[in-house]
Structure 1
Amino acid sequence: MRLEDLVRLRRARDVMDREYARPLDVPTLARGAHMSPGHFSRTFRAAYGETPYGYLMTRRVERAKALLRRGDLSVTEVCFAVGCTSLGSFSSRFTELVGETPSAYRARRHDAGAAVPACVAKVLTRPVRNGVPVRNGEPVRNGEAESTAAS
């Protein structure tokens, strides 16, 4: 992969990180990266191990978890605050990544993480599909994470 492509992909990823609540789609992100939508999607997945949509939804779910922990917004309000336009799609993706519904997550106590600095909490609470870490779009199986981390 060319260095110029990696720089453009990083900029697109930074846009998703900063502007996750805006309506973002692959054609818009690809245009900003000066790539065709197909090339953008393929190179993004090759560079980051997930599709642009998957990455954006993971960022949105991360932000949603923080808002739900506060407890002052309804699930619907959180859904729209993080840039999702469909409560059903948001709830499905949230449940897939977190392993419980947004309502169940909101209702649960979150005192244990209150003393953890935000930068650490972000890493520890990063959504993963059904509680299973994902690498290159595939679930990491037992023992596989340790063996590849050591190599």
Structure 2
Amino acid sequence: MYSTLQRPLFGMDHMEVPSKTIPPELLQLLADNLPREMFTTDGSLDFSKVEKRDFWGRMDRNQDLASEGLNALEESIVRPFVVMAKIAEYLRRNYRTPLGLTAIADQFGMKPVRLRRSFKKIFKMAPLEYLMNVRIENAKKLLASTTKGINDVAVEVGFYDHSALTKQFLKITGENPSAYRSKKREEIFDMLVKFG
């Protein structure tokens, strides 16, 4: 469900805001302080039908409640995003070490279920799936740029052995590490011949 806010003041025709992201206190504050004539028949707000100083004067009288509403908004939207970004950065920095969902959750003082749900909501994948993608991307770089054996590459990017790497590599890229390396070497050779 969306609330449509019309704000010609800022050069926007309208702005759709998910209703569930706006704290009830802030919605109540708006409802209590906006004149009825500001609401259109479809329930959207039309800021052109009210004097700006009248609206802001009413809002100033309720500054504490507005501040609480904005704090709740920050707490419910901004803070979780920042925490999940820190977790993603942690996974990118520590992809070589064995990490499980419980260990990651403990590191950030969260419950594993909450971590998984929040991370997936923001990144559209679970934390361990994100970690696998980071590991595979690093494996691809090593396969393309070094002559290290598949097993050495696997261990360097956080897998126990080459079979674990091969299974995840195949799942994510659709090809096995050896085929990927051969393809990349062939591409490099073709470029050298072309520009050589």
Normalising by structure 1, what TM-score? 0.69
- Where do 5+ consecutive residues of structure 1 fail to align? 115-151
Q: Distance in 1 between matches of 2:187 and 2:111?
A: 43
Q: Map Cα deviations across residues 97-145 of structure 1 (whole Å, 9 max, x no partner).
A: 1121001111222428x8xxxxxxxxxxxxxxxxxxxxxxxxxxxxxxx
- Residue 42 of structure 1 deviates from its aligned partner by 0.8
2:134 corresponds in structure 1 to: 59
- Residue 63 of structure 1 deviates from its aligned partner by 0.3
- Residue 37 of structure 1 deviates from its aligned partner by 0.5
- Residue 62 of structure 1 deviates from its aligned partner by 0.3
Query: In proportion to residue count, which structure has more helix?
Result: 2
- Residue 2 of structure 1 deviates from its aligned partner by 3.5
- Residue 27 of structure 1 deviates from its aligned partner by 1.1
1:111 corresponds in structure 2 to: 188
- Residue 32 of structure 1 deviates from its aligned partner by 2.2
1:47 corresponds in structure 2 to: 122
1:13 aligns with 2:97: no
CA RMSD of aligned residues (A): 2.1
Letter in 2 for 1:69: A
Q: Distance in 1 between matches of 2:169 and 2:93?
A: 20
1:90 corresponds in structure 2 to: 165
Counterpart of 1:2 in 2: which secondary structure? helix
Q: Map Cα deviations across residues 29-78 of structure 1 (whole Å, 9 max, x no partner).
A: 11222210010011111110001111000000000000001241011110
Point out 4+ residue stretches in structure 1 off by more than 4 angstroms: none
Change (3 A) 1:17 1:110: farther
Which is greater in Rg?
Answer: 2
Q: Distance in 2 between matches of 1:96 and 1:9?
A: 25
- Residue 28 of structure 1 deviates from its aligned partner by 1.5
Higher relative contact order (CA 8 A, sep 6+): 1
2:174 corresponds in structure 1 to: 99
1:27 corresponds in structure 2 to: 102
- Residue 19 of structure 1 deviates from its aligned partner by 1.5
The percentage of counterpart residues that share the same residue type is 27
Counterpart of 2:158 in 1: which secondary structure? coil
- Where do 5+ consecutive residues of structure 2 fail to align? 1-75, 192-196
Normalising by structure 2, what TM-score? 0.54
Q: Distance in 2 between matches of 1:89 and 1:24?
A: 15
